[in-house]
Structures are given as C-alpha cells and as structure tokens.
Structure 1
Amino acid sequence: MQAPSTRPLSRFSGSVLAGGLLALVLALPAQALEPQSLDYPLTSPDYELPLDELRSFAEVYERIKQAYVHEVDDKTLLENAIRGMLSGLDPHSGYLEPEAFKELRESTQGEFGGLGIEIGIEQGYIKVISPIDDTPASKAGIQPQDLIIRINDTSTRDLSIDQAIELMRGEPGTTLRLTIQRESAGQPFEVELTRDLIRTVSVRQQLLEKDYGYLRISQFQNRSAEETLKGLEELKASNEGHLKGLILDLRNNPGGVLQAAAEVTDIFLDGGLIVYTQGRLPDTDMRFEARAGDALEGIPLVVLINSGSASASEIVAGALQDHRRGLIMGTASFGKGSVQTVLPLYNDRALKMTTALYYTPQGRSIQAEGIQPDIEVINARITPIEESRRTRERDLQGHLESGQEEPERQQTARLTSPDDYPVNEALNLLKGLNIFGERK
C-alpha cells in the first residue's frame, strides 16, 4: 500500500481547497481545477456490470423518451442521470455544469459575484452556514442557521445547492428576494438584497487594548497565511513590538483553501502534525506538517468558534486544540470533516465527489461531530447595571490631585461590538492567564 503523501508547508502556495465557498467544498486539489489524467483505473478486471440495473435504467430512459408529456432530448436526460448519481451520494457531492464549475474556480480566488452567503441543506431546505463579512448578505442581517425557504418566487424545497447558487448569482446591481425562516422570528419574513461583486478580505486585526490583539479570519483564501503574518506584525508594531495575548476569531468561518488553513495553523505551532486525510485511493491520503517556529513565541492564544465554523476552520481549531497551543472557546463547530475532490471532464464540466475524511493530529474525525470547545461560551448580550451615584474623593471641593498625568484613552473603532460577549470573555481569559503566569 502506498504511504500517505506528506505536504511540507510552503507558506504562500495554495494547493488544496477546503470547504464552504458557496458549494461547501471541503478539500479539493487546486491542480484538479484544470483537466488532468486520473492515476487510477476507471474499471477493475474483477468488476462486473450490474446487468439487471442497467436494463432497468435503459427501460426507464426509453419510457421517458416515449411517454413524458413533453419531449425531452437525450442530453438533458443523461445529464439529469449523472446529476442524480452524484446528488444521491451525500450532500456535498455533485455534478458541476460549466457555469457552476467556473463559479467555483472564481470563488476560491476570493472574488465572485452574488450575495456572499455560505449555504448547506437541512430538512430539504437551503440553510445558511454563514454570511461573509461586508457583503450584501451580512449587511442585510442574514444569520447562521437561517433557512431560505424561497428565492424570489421559487421554493427551495428539495432544491440542490448548485440550483440555489444559480438562482442567487447574478449581475451586480440586480436585486432578489429571500424568504427567511428564523427560529427566533416565528413567522417567515422577506429580505431584499442587491447583488454585488464580492471581493473578500479574509484577515482583519485590531488591538483591543494595550497588550491584547484580535485577529479575525472570515474564510481561508490563497493569501490568508500571508495576511495573517502581516496582521500579527501590525498588531505588534502598534503595541511597542510585542503582545501578551491574541484572540483568533474563526466564528462563522465556512472554510476555504485547505493549504491556507494548514499554513495559518503552522504560524502558531512549533512543529508537528496539523491534519491528515484518508480515503479509498492512495492519492487521497495526505499529511500536513508544521515547521519549527511559533510566530507568537508561545503567548496565550484563545480561538473563538461557533456553529458557523466549518471545514478548514475546524482543521485550524482542531490542530491547535490537539497540540494544546490555544484554548478553544465558544460553541461546537459545524462538523464537516469530509473531503471533496473536483475531477474536471472534457466538456468544461466537473464531478465534485467526496473522496476522503480528514482527521486532527490525535486522530479525531470531525465529521458530524464538530470541534467541542474547551470552554463553552454562548453568545449573549451584556447589560450593565448602573451603580448608584455615590460621592467619591474627586467630587469633594478642594480635593488634592494625584500629581500624575491622566492616561490617554484610545478611541478606536472596534471590529467587534462592545457587547460581543465571547470576545469580552476571551479577553478576560487572556488577562487571567497572564496574571497566573506572572505569579507562578
């Protein structure tokens, strides 16, 4: 049996893609986005054709051709048959027609037209995994777990992901209506959105207060690792060249480029296994190893996740958790641990097919389980209780001054809102870890 291939991390050369990005692809080799020859046989000498089933197929095909109320051409029937073979396997396998294949390639580069919304399927309807930051979907208030029950006048009942994407894609500036069923809202409601050209910036950072940084990765793109290193340098530069703690926010991160996710993980690890995949074919078995050198030099790290954290973001969280490099805080992640490979066909079409599962360094499969946080923090709103007005020393007439300058308070816009409960809890935890470390 062929040994699994090990992927050394060349930090800025993406070669494998991981989930989300509208089609919820978890892992697909970038080289597979161009036509290639398969290095395994399409048939086996021991394989026997299921003749009875093929006869049934031929009979159904002929009856549709003869008796269906409208005439159907051979191409349509055969493409429907191919589509049915793949969609019947699992929610993430599918048949990509030329437009869908083109959109998939565009989306992995971080620029595509549409709404900026990551979707899956639940109970026969289209489910929102997460909106992408600063897109029409996020600006319209679309939330993770929302069910899209209609797109314009089309019901999404039993609609495939590819069909839903086709309906939601369109020219920038055009509008469409989504009918949303939200658990907290009771009755369905409509949202009108204007399509836009989606150019996503995957990494943003900010110094929350002295010594403590915040870095958010909204999805994993080819340059995410490079942007992460740049963001860390900017955080350090704004805090006299060092940090005492970092919050890495992967909430509502639907995935993206697997190589980039591994490279981001490598930034925080000082060596060791990041992730490995296993499938039926030898070339689906891969290992990603981190190189020596932790860019943060071991300072405390808290990773925020929630139910919208899927695929590649689960790889990062799982690896950091297994290596005990960071504390995972929030709620359980989405749980998509299957690997899809895109196999281009000769006619600008492609098969997107589940070929493997991925595993964390300690051998955990995340499929349908997700990453469980070390510290569960459910999103909540903080309502401060006003303290009754009492006289203090500074209120007394003629009080003595301290003789010290009043510290200048920085007034900067935060990437997170002041009442973002998980971020505040993560910040408090980082401070506690530093205090504990200083007193040991």
Structure 2
Amino acid sequence: MRRSRFLVFALLAVMAASIFLVLDGCSSDKGRRADSATKGAFSVIDEAYGIIQEKAVYPVEGDRLIEGALRGMADVIGDPYSTYLTEEEAASHRESLAGEKVGIGAEITRSGGRFIIVAPIKGSPAEKAGLQPYDEIVRINREALGGLTLQEVIKKIKGKEGTALEMTIYRPDLNKHLELKVMREVIPVKTVSAELMEERGTKFGYIALTMFGDETAAEWKKATDEMIKGGAEALVIDVRGNPGGYLRAVGEVAGSLLKEGSNFAYMQNAKGQLTPLTVEPSKKFTYDEKLKKMPVILLQDKGSASASEVLSGAIKDLRRGFIIGQVSFGKGTVQDTMELSNGGEMKLSTHKWLTPKETWIHGKGVNVDLVSEQNKLFTEHIRFSTDVYAVGDYHEDIAYAQRILSGLGYHLERNDGYFDETTAVAVHEFRVNEKVSPESIMDRKFFAALRVRIENYRKDKANDTQLQVAIGYMHHLLSK
C-alpha cells in the first residue's frame, strides 16, 4: 500500500484546486484478506452483483459495478475528504504535487459551449506553437470537440512527453481556422515565489507559497537564502489561497522558522493517541540561525487550508510571528491514500492534526491576530467571455463586468447584470481609456481589455490591502 499524493491542481491547460494534507511514506497492506465475518457480509454484494449482471435491462460492465460499490462505501463515511479514486483518477492525484508536469502549458476555459485558450504560459509549448488568447480549439488530432466536457478535452490534450498534438483552432482576429502542431513538454511547477521589497528604507522578503509540494522545501530554502543575502530584515509569508499539500513539506518550512526540538503539530489517530511532530536539526539552510530569529508576518485568508493551517497554527501557538488577514478554512484531518488491487485507490481520513497547543481547528480555522479584508478586485474570479452584450441585455457576465468597472472607479448605478444606460457609459469610457474601439458594448475585445486591466491592477502590490497592512505592521515591529 502506498501513501500517495492528493490533488491541488492538475497543470496541463487548466488548474483545478482542492484542499488537503497528505501523509508521506508507504506501507504494504495491499491484498489484505478480510476475516470470515466480513466475508459473510460481502456475500450480499456478490448477490447484488450477480442479479444486476443477469437481469438488469440496462447492461453495466462488471468493473463499473465494482467501482460504484467502492465509491459508495467511501461516500457512506460522510467525510468529504474520503473517497474512492479510479485508476485514472489516482494517476492524476499522484502527479499533482510533482515538481513538474507534462503538458502544453496553456489555460483553457469553456465559454458558450466553445473551448477557448485563456493564456499560454510564457515559454511553454503552447506559446512556442503560436497559440494566443481567445483562440478557439475546434479539433484535437482531427477529432471535433462538440458535446465534450472541459475535462474530456483536457484528457485529449494530455499525453507523453515528446509526443505531438495536432490542433485546429479558430482565431477571431483573423476570422480563419489554423492548423497547429504542439509538442508536449515537461513544464516546471513553481510553488514558491519571492521578492525583496523595500519600504521606507527597510528591506524585507515577501514569499508566497501556492501549495506544499515535492519541491516546496527546496524552493523555500532558495527563496529565504536570497532574501537574507539581499539584506531582508523581516519576512512576510503569504499563504492566501494555499490549499495544502505534503505534511513533510510544511514540516520543513515550519522547522526552518522554529526552535529545534519544538513541536509544530500533533497527529492523532483513530484511537485518540497523540504523536508529536517535532522540529528536527537541519543543516540545509544557509542562514538557519538568522532565519529562526527573523520577524515573521503571515498572510492568510479563508482559502488557506490544511497544510497551510499547520504552518499558521504553529506560528500562532508558538508565538513565532503575527498573522494578518482572515480566519483560515478549517481542515484538521490528514488523508492516507491506499492502493487497491484493481489499480484504484481509497483515500481515507486516518488522522486528525492538532496545533502545538493541541487545538483541533477542523471546521473553525486558525484565527488571525489582526483582521484585514482584501480589496474586492483581488478576490473576484476573472471571467472569460466571447459573447456580445448591449443595452437591455441581462447576464452574469455583465454583472461581473459591472463589479470590475465599479472597483476600478467607473460610475455605475447597478451591478445586478442588467445592461442599463449608465453601464453603457462606463463601458464606453473604459474602452476609450484602454484604447479599444469606442463602442458601448461588451464583446470579446472588451473582456480581453478588462482582463489585462485587472491583472495589471493586481500586479501592483500597492493595491493589495492585506499586504499593505502587513507592511505597516512590519515597520511597527522593527521600530521597537
């Protein structure tokens, strides 16, 4: 039995997020036999299987019946984090936290029944092949995509490294179809990003962790080394939207900040027995002593879950830093993913994890030291639309645009999705300011310009309300 990985996102052309904390390591229970009493209970399942196979007017393959029974057993537990994974699903889960993926490197969305390229990743196979934002994927390997779901399209795009993918795309700007060949390549997945910032004559390191994956600890070491070498006097650690990951990875990150020998969390099994997770001696960090003493501010939000809560819980209970933002998600269980003989896997919550003060945060979250609400333009999901809207129309795409325009300072009298005259005036003004054809409609060009505008807005850290609060508090700490 192998304890494997649980999904944060599957990077191919689109990302899918999940909330999890994963045990590392492996055991060997595969093929364990049930005792005689259990065998008797399972004879009923054998009966039902035989009846369905013999008499059901709707034929079902035997493997699907077995998988249905397995999925049903997991569902009965009533735990949203315990589930049965098919062999294909299990393979996706296993690769989700790897340091690199094989794919084409483009984000795809489904809009109006069409599959649209949102943006190719810089330097990716998609960009090299010439794919552009708003390209519509019409065929893959000469097969039309009509009637498929987004996940089915992604499955067609997936493949082995070095293999070619033929795509027929429709490019609106040219009003023509193009045939492109994209080579699948290994795409590195970076989980840590860092920036040495300077405010009011003080240097500090800003480090964002998007998840705790295979390479997170190594990326964290590199980032902290660079920040300290650059003269950082404090660290702002950002785990907003971080859904979790490996217990091992968060343990190494937490351990680099905490005193050797301290307990950064506890594991509690089904019998209630506690096992401390202790910070072990480490020679990996170049500036280990300085890192352990450096002032730390942690940013979290309601999207910070599981492994990221292990970090914030340790920082809070051990008074290692100051937490700003919002109460975290509140996931206090750990999953163990076990192989089954049919190639599938059973993912089961086998432990609770507790903070250093032995607090179970499940359903409650980790409280912050200072509450700070984020600028709404940072929390709004960026939509992608190819439809056209004008005065008198009503749609959620219009409501989205109204919220964004209002947040950017344009005057609107409503944001309920009805395209009124004040919305038309704001749209026209926005298009003129962004050097888009001066019309009073929402179309592909308008939504593309809106996307660029909000992305640029978010890149400016001066607009990040929570970060600015953290910077202000950091100066307060350093001035003591």
TM-score in terms of structure 2 length = 0.59
Matched residue SS, 1:342? strand
Residues 1:24 and 1:424: Cα distance change in structure 2 (over 3 Å): same
Aligned residue in 2 for 1:227: 219
Match of 2:83 among 81, 94, 104: 94
Preserved contact between residue 18 and residue 255 of structure 1 (Cα < 8 Å): no
Alignment of 1:48-197 (within 5 A): 48-49=37-38, 57-58=45-46, 60-89=48-77, 90-112=79-101, 169-171=155-157
Separation of aligned partners in 1, 2:350 and 2:187: 30
- 1:278 matches 2:268: yes
Taking structure 1 as reference, are residues 196 and 429 closer, same or farther at Cα in structure 2, changes over 3 Å only? farther
Query: Shift of the alpha carbon at 1:342?
Result: 1.1
Partner deviation per Cα, 1:187-206 (whole Å, 9 max, x = no partner): xxxxxxx9997632111111
Q: Does 1:319 align with 2:307?
A: no
Amino acid at match of 1:97: T
- Corresponding residue SS for 2:263: strand
In the alignment, does 2:259 pair up with 1:264? no
Give secondary structure in 2 for the equivalent of 1:214: strand
Q: What is the deviation of 1:321?
A: 0.7
**C-alpha contact (below 8 Å) 2:30/2:339 kept by paired residues:** no
Identical-pair percentage: 27
Whether 2:349 is the aligned partner of 1:354: answer yes
CA contact under 8 A between 1:207 and 1:238: conserved in structure 2? yes
Structure 2: distance between partners of 1:429 and 1:229: 25
1:78, CA displacement in angstroms? 1.6
> Which residue does the alignment assign to 1:430?
474
CA change 1:381–1:107 in 2 (3 A) is: closer
Partners of 1:40 and 1:278 lie apart in 2 by 26
**Which deviations, in whole Å up to 9, do the C-alpha atoms of 1:271-311 show, x marking residues without a partner?**
310112112269x9643211466542423211001111111
2:17/2:243 contact within 8 Å kept: no
Secondary structure class of the residue paired with 1:418: helix
Counterpart of 1:236 in structure 2 is 228
SS at match of 2:463: coil
Q: Give the one of 28, 32, 36 matched to 1:37.
A: 28
Q: Distance in 2 between matches of 1:365 and 1:108?
A: 26
Tell me the distance in 2 between the aligned counterparts of 1:250 and 1:104: 22
3-state SS of paired residue (1:296):
helix
Q: Using the alignment, how far apart are the partners of 1:152 and 1:295 within structure 2?
A: 58
- Residue 332 of structure 1 contacts residue 370 of structure 1 at CA under 8 Å; is this kept in 2? yes
Q: Which residue of 2 aligns with 1:343?
A: 338
Q: How many residues were matched structurally?
A: 332
Matched letter for residue 94 of structure 2: R
User: CA, structure 1 residues 106+381, in 2 after alignment: closer, same or farther (shift >3 Å)?
Assistant: closer
Alignment-derived partner of residue 120 in structure 1: none
Structure 2 CA distance for aligned equivalents of residues 16 and 288 of structure 1: 20
- 3-state SS of paired residue (2:468): helix
Indicate if the aligned counterparts of 1:334 and 1:368 stay in contact, CA closer than 8 A: yes
CA contact (8 A) 1:25 1:340 kept: no
SS at match of 1:100: helix
Question: Which of 11, 20, 28 is residue 26 of structure 1 equivalent to?
Answer: 20
d(CA) in 2 for partners of 1:40, 1:64: 26
Quick one: which amino acid aligns to residue 352 of structure 2?
L
Task: Choose the corresponding residue for 1:213, options 201, 205, 210.
Answer: 205
Q: 1:233 to 1:54 in 2, by over 3 A?
A: closer
Correspondence for 1:290: 279
Measured after TM superposition, the shift of residue 366 of structure 1 is: 2.0
Report 1 or 2 for greater relative contact order, CA contacts < 8 Å, sequence distance ≥ 6.
1
Q: 1:366 to 1:199 in 2, by over 3 A?
A: farther
Matching residue's letter, 1:276:
Y
User: What is the Cα deviation at residue 231 of structure 1?
Assistant: 1.0
Work out the CA distance in 1 between the residues paired with 2:274 and 2:29.
Answer: 15
Give how far 1:433 is off: 1.3
Looking at structure 1, the residues matched to 7 and 333 of structure 2 have their Cα atoms a distance apart, in angstroms, of 9
SS of the aligned residue for 2:63 comes to helix
Structure 1 residue 29, shift from structure 2 partner: 3.6
* Runs of 5+ consecutive residues of structure 2 not aligned to the other structure: 10-15, 108-120, 127-131, 134-144, 159-164, 168-181, 282-287, 378-406, 410-456
Q: Report the residue type matching 1:224 in the other structure.
A: T
Q: Aligned equivalents of 1:315 and 1:79: distance in 2?
A: 34
- In structure 1, the gaps of 5 or more residues are 1-14, 118-132, 141-150, 156-163, 176-193, 386-412
1:231 counterpart letter in structure 2: A
Deviation at 1:251, TM superposition (A): 0.5
Equivalent-residue separation in structure 1 for 2:372 and 2:320 (angstroms): 19
Question: 2:24, 2:248 within 8 Å by CA — same for their partners in 1?
Answer: no
Question: After the TM superposition, which of the residue ranges 249-258 and 84-93 deviates more from structure 2?
Answer: 84-93
* 2:391 counterpart residue number: none
- Counterpart CA distance in 2 for 1:61 and 1:16 is 30
Larger helix proportion, structure 1 or 2? 2
Q: CA deviation at 1:347?
A: 3.6
Q: Distance in 1 between matches of 2:146 and 2:324?
A: 38
Alignment-derived partner of residue 421 in structure 2: none
Letter in 1 for 2:369: D
Cα gap change, 1:54/1:42 in structure 2, threshold over 3 Å: closer, same or farther?
closer
CA distance in 2 between counterparts of 1:66 and 1:73 reads 11
Q: Partner amino acid for 1:421?
A: T
> RMSD across aligned C-alpha pairs, in angstroms?
4.0
- Aligned-residue offset at 1:81: 0.7
8 A contact 1:333–1:371 mirrored in 2 = yes
* 1:185-225 C-alpha deviation (Å, 9 max, x unpaired): xxxxxxxxx99976321111112213222011111122222
Residue 380 of structure 1 corresponds to 375
- Shift in CA distance, 107/174, structure 1 to aligned 2, threshold 3 Å: farther
